[in-house]
Amino acid sequence: MRGPKVTLEQWRTLQAVVDHGGYAQAAEALHKSQSSISYTVAKLQEQLGMDLLHIEGRKAVLTSAGQALLQRSRQLLDHAVELEQVADSLGQGWEPEVRLAMDAIFPKTILINAFKEFLPGSNGCRLVLREEVLSGASEVLLEKKVELSITPWVPPGFMGEKLMDIHFIAVAHPDHTLHQLGRKVTLNDLKQHMHVVIKDSGLKQNRDSGWLGSDFRCTVTNFESARALLVGGMGFSWIPVHEAYPLIKEGQLKCIDLDADYEKQGTLYLVYANKELAGPATQLMASCLKACTKTYQVTEPSCQELRSVTAD
């Protein structure tokens, strides 16, 4: 049986040249010399008997044959990585580490309870948590940086299990001008005031959470900063009900009396990077998250209840 002409490392090098935009950038990303990168790609083309790249200006661009083969090479490398993961899992029996990405709107109470349930049976498995915003939690799945992700967007090629719906409510400080109008607040009213929005942590999507399209906004990177601005009297925003409830109850925030039902809602999904390869620790963590979410949902206040708290 004849073996392959080229190696996985050659395909990896070609991918780096394309993904990073050139030989010099690929050399930096792979911590190799530029001459080594050039030689590897040239040797790959020689062994295959065809050109995979050509230079346009200062950028290396794929030929049509290169485009076809590059896509297949990505699958080849992915399968090789998965094979090593299977071997590692079989050898250890229990993963030494579970990496979890979580969208920032996921209630911390659920997370803490899930961790408490997980730890007694974890066999010393380490937990690595990444807090992301909007597309960030799905992007790390695509980049194979986590085993599990709690995300509002299930990326193509993945299957998500619904965890919960998250309801958002418009709020501002009780002394904010929006509460002093003496009438229902319109969309045009909102556009006259600073809108606090959360920046997408993903590098490829760059969405802003709840942005109305006005230039009068303040963009922050996390809910903690947004909450601090709102409590400090700076602007308005839609925030999750579970975040708003204690602040409204304490009198630090107040629901905005809108002229229409501008209530926002999102859904969070639990997604495996690869369920077939998930080890016992990953599966245990997923079970704990699902169980604790079901318990939590019974106690979460509704938007109507929050408005009643404000009225009191």
Highest mean pLDDT out of 19-33, 196-210, 244-258, 292-306:
244-258
Is 2 part of any domain?
A: no
Segment 280-309 mean pLDDT: 86
Give me the pLDDT at residue 60, please.
Answer: 76
Burial 15-51 (b: 16+ CB within 10 A, else e): bbbbebebbebbbeebeeeeeebbebbeebbeeeeee
Specify the CATH number for the domain of residue 214.
3.40.190.290
The number of domains in the chain is 3
At 302 the pLDDT is 74
In a domain, 42, yes or no: yes
DSSP state at residue 127: E
183, 81: one domain: no
Angle 267-268-272 from CA coordinates, rounded to 5°: 140
Per-residue pLDDT tens for 164-179? Answer: 999 999 999 999 999 9
Average pLDDT (28-53) is 90
pLDDT of 34 strictly over 60: yes
Q: Report how far residue 81's alpha carbon sits from residue 104's, in angstroms, rounded to the nearest whole number.
A: 29
pLDDT of 299 > 80? The answer is no
Whether residue 67 lies inside any domain: the answer is: yes
146-157 tens-digit pLDDT: 999 999 999 999
Confidence of residue 211 (pLDDT cuts 50, 70, 90): very low
In the prediction, which pLDDT does 109 show?
A: 94
Domain that holds residue 171: 165-265+300-311
| Whether residues 214 and 305 fall in one domain | yes
Question: Helix, strand or coil for residue 130?
Answer: strand
Same-domain check for residues 141 and 50: no
**Residues 103, 65 share a domain:** no
Is the same domain home to 143 and 278?
yes
Domain stop point among 57, 91, 125:
91
Given this model, what pLDDT does residue 3 score? 73
Q: By percentage, how much of the chain surpasses pLDDT 90?
A: 48
Mean pLDDT of 256-272: 89
pLDDT at 301 over 70: yes
The predicted structure's pLDDT at residue 142: 92
Lowest mean pLDDT among 50-64, 86-100, 269-283: 86-100
pLDDT of residue 311: 52
Q: Tokens 């006259």 belong to which residue?
A: 192
Does the residue 1 lie in any domain? no
Residue 18, in any domain of the structure: yes
Position 85 scores a pLDDT of 67
CATH number of the domain residue 288 falls in = 3.40.190.10
pLDDT higher than threshold 80 for residue 300: no
Give the mean pLDDT of the chain.
Answer: 87
From the centroid of its chain, how far is CA 168?
Answer: 19
Taking alpha carbons only, the member of 242, 229, 224, 233 closest to residue 306 is: 242
- Same domain flag for 143 and 216: no
Please state the pTM of the whole predicted model.
0.69
E strands along the chain, which residues? 53-56, 59-62, 97-103, 126-132, 148-151, 160-172, 195-199, 208-209, 217-220, 236-240, 254-255, 264-272
